[in-house]
């Protein structure tokens, strides 16, 4: 194009004193940002192609590269930011919907960062987790309402199927298709080793991964991709996906270019066809309809496994959750507006949904008020970034959390948010064979195991500090939380006091 409206966002800075022209940057960049000039024996770069994924920076053996934000600027304007202007240029050029990946990056409040944890001093002893037992195990599923006995007074086991987790963290739904085979294998193997669960997402389950079934949650989404009897039976639990935090109210779209032989088989659709998940489930227009699907799935699997219903955190989430808790579902998963995605329309991702902290607090409170909290376990997702977020979420009322983005970061993701291009340089969000092989699951699963073990240590330390030796005693224990810089309304919704109170 004769007129280039957009100046590159990033600049690739090369220290020519350190560059040994090994060309690893050139070989490893799927965006072809680096080029070797053979006549000059010199590397050069095209900033416009850089997505700031740090693959070249991480592999450069002499640390000759860095990526900096361009200081090229528009005339300063607090209203018309450079971002707004560039987006208009893009749309004026393409006529299309803007696409984005990963979670909402905009400057909305992060309530986890405005909540502080308690610790014991003097009057109540803290616990040293290295010296005393500390329990992080949780069970997810509906809990019995009452003790039942038979005519001889013996206890009747009326416990519905439960999921046992060694710690209150699971890997959230990411489909085979949105992420690579090797990423899936890493998640499955890590979940198995850790005694937690991972989630297939809506893309079906590759036949190689049935052996990890005991640690697998299989998803039934609006497209019903890859759903069949063996799929349901092989799992530990079944999740009905009603919504996703990154794109509440809309469906999914895996472009046909990504639907190769393997994915076509797994999703049960022809090679090269677009995999379109409709926005709604076309058979669910009410809680009663949802109940039918919940019980269809339970019937199909002989009432042996819990059914999860996953929804996006939206304005009336507490009411919806109340309905779900009465639908026969065993677990409600709520995905906040920061949740990740392989591709979503930018406007949806950045402007729809509500923060998970507020959604969690209001759902937990509502279910308690209605006396149905024990009908379901609550799992929350949507940007759980650290063990501190896990502890705060549990204290706000969650039984467990899902992590997606954090798990991908452990696998090498640098949050360049270019998943939708399908050219992930880290072998995660791509189906290109040469890129997929960059993620070696033998190394990847260990990094996930390390991350989770590190978090488990930290969770124990924080619990110990509060004088709590079991995650069950922390659950819904909002007295352990205090807000900082929050207004009355926010504190009221979160159900916590302000620091100093």
Nearer to other proteins, 401 or 451 (CB): 451
Give alpha helix (H) positions in 7-129: 24-28, 55-59, 82-94
Min dist. Cβ of residue 427 to other proteins (A): 9
Closest C-alpha among 31, 36, 66, 65 to residue 51: 31
Task: Note whether 436 binds other proteins by CB under 8 A.
Answer: no
Q: Which two tokens stand for residue 418?
A: 């270019």
- Binder to other proteins among 5, 18, 148, 208 (CB under 8 A)? 18
Cα 374 to the center of its chain, rounded Å? 25
Q: How many CB atoms lie within 10 A of CB 85?
A: 15
The string of DSSP codes covering 282-330 is TT-SSHHHHHHHHHHHHHHTTT-S-EEEEEE--TTHHHHHHHHHTTT-S
Nearer to other proteins, 305 or 438 (CB): 438
Contact (Cβ atoms closer than 8 angstroms) between residue 463 and residue 134: yes
Binding window for other proteins (CB under 8 A); candidates: 310-318, 378-386, 388-396, 440-448: 440-448
* Number of residues counted as binding other proteins (CB under 8 A): 21
CA dihedral angle for residue 223, residue 228, residue 234, residue 240, rounded to 10 degrees = 30
At its nearest, how many Å lie between other proteins and the CB of residue 42? 11
Q: How far is the CB of 204 from other proteins (least distance, A)?
A: 24
Among 261, 434, 488, 501, binds other proteins (CB under 8 A): 434
Which of 5, 6, 13, 27 is close enough to bind other proteins by CB under 8 A?
A: 27
Q: Which of 12, 14, 28, 313 binds other proteins (CB under 8 A)?
A: 28
Does 438 bind other proteins (CB under 8 A)? Our answer is yes
Q: 269 - beta bridge partners? A: none
Nearest approach, Cβ of residue 14 and other proteins (Å):
12
- Options 6, 13, 20, 319; binder of other proteins; rule CB under 8 A: 20
Task: Round to whole Å and give the CA distance between 341 and 71.
Answer: 29
Minimum CB distance to other proteins smaller for 56 or for 401: 56
Q: Give the DSSP letter of residue 421.
A: G
For residue 268, what are its two tokens? 């049960």
Given the rule CB under 8 A, which of 162-170, 313-321, 322-330, 437-445 is the region that contacts other proteins? Answer: 437-445
Which CB atom, from 54 or from 349, has the smaller least distance to other proteins? Answer: 54
Stretch that binds other proteins, among 20-28, 96-104, 345-353, 463-471 (CB under 8 A): 20-28
> Looking only at residues 235 through 274 of this chain, which bind other proteins when binding is defined by CB under 8 A?
none
Task: Beginning with the edge strand found earlier in the chain, give each strand of the sheet holding 115-117 in spatial order.
Answer: 115-117, 481-483, 497-498
77 binds other proteins (CB under 8 A): no
Residue owning tokens 């339970």: 298
| Residue 442 contacts other proteins per CB under 8 A | yes
Window contacting other proteins (CB under 8 A); options: 61-69, 114-122, 201-209, 353-361: 61-69
Residue 369 CB contacts under 8 Å (≥ 6 apart), including other chains: none
Which C-beta is closer to other proteins: that of 9 or that of 262?
Answer: 262
Q: Give, to the nearest 10 degrees, the angle between helix 441-465 and helix 181-194.
A: 40
Distance separating alpha carbons of residues 429 and 415, to the nearest angstrom = 11
Q: Which residues contribute to the site for other proteins (CB under 8 A)?
A: 17-20, 22-24, 27-28, 58-59, 61-62, 64, 433-434, 437-438, 440, 442-443
């Amino acid at each position: 194009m004769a007129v280039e409206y957009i100046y590159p966002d990033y600049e690739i800075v090369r220290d020519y004193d350190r560059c040994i022209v090994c060309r690893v940057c050139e070989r490893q960049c799927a965006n072809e940002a680096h080029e070797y000039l053979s006549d000059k024996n010199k590397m050069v770069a095209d900033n416009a192609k850089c997505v700031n994924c740090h693959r070249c920076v991480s592999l450069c053996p002499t640390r000759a590269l860095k990526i900096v934000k361009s200081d090229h600027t528009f005339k300063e304007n607090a209203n018309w930011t450079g971002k707004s202007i560039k987006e208009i240029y893009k749309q004026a050029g393409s006529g299309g919907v803007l696409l984005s990946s990963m979670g909402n990056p905009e400057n909305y409040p992060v309530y986890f960062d405005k909540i502080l944890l308690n610790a014991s001093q003097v009057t109540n002893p803290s616990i040293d987790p290295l010296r005393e037992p500390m329990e992080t195990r949780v069970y997810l599923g509906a809990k019995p309402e009452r003790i039942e006995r038979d005519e001889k007074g013996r206890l009747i086991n009326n416990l519905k199927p439960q999921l046992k987790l060694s710690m209150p963290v699971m890997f959230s739904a990411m489909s085979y298709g949105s992420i690579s085979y090797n990423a899936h294998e890493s998640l499955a193997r890590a979940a198995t080793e850790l005694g937690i669960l991972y989630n297939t997402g809506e893309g079906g389950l590759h036949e190689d991964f049935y052996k990890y079934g005991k640690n697998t949650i299989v998803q039934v989404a609006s497209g019903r991709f890859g759903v069949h009897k063996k799929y349901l039976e092989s799992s530990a639990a079944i999740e009905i996906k009603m919504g996703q935090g990154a794109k509440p109210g809309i469906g999914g779209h895996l472009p046909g270019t990504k639907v190769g032989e393997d994915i076509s088989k797994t999703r049960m659709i022809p090679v090269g066809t677009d995999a379109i998940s409709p926005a709604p489930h076309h058979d669910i227009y009410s809680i009663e309809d949802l109940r039918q699907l919940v019980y269809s799935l339970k019937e199909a699997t002989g009432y042996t496994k819990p059914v999860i219903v996953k929804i996006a955190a939206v304005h009336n989430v507490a009411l919806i959750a109340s309905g779900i808790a009465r639908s026969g579902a065993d677990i409600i998963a709520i995905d906040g507006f920061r949740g990740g995605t392989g591709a979503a329309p930018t406007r949806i991702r950045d402007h729809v949904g509500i923060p998970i902290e507020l959604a969690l607090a209001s759902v937990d409170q509502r279910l308690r008020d209605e006396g149905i909290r024990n009908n379901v376990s609550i799992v929350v997702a949507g940007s759980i970034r650290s063990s501190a977020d896990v502890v705060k979420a549990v204290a706000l009322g969650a039984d467990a959390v899902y992590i997606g983005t954090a798990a991908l970061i452990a696998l090498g993701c640098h949050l360049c948010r270019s998943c939708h291009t399908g050219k992930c340089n880290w072998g995660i969000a791509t189906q290109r064979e040469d890129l997929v092989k960059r993620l070696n699951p033998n190394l990847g699963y260990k990094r996930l195991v390390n991350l989770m073990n590190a978090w488990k240590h930290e969770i124990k330390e924080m619990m110990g500090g509060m004088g709590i030796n079991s995650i069950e005693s922390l659950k819904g224990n909002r007295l352990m939380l205090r807000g900082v810089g929050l207004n009355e309304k926010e504190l009221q919704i979160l159900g916590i006091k302000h620091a100093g109170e």
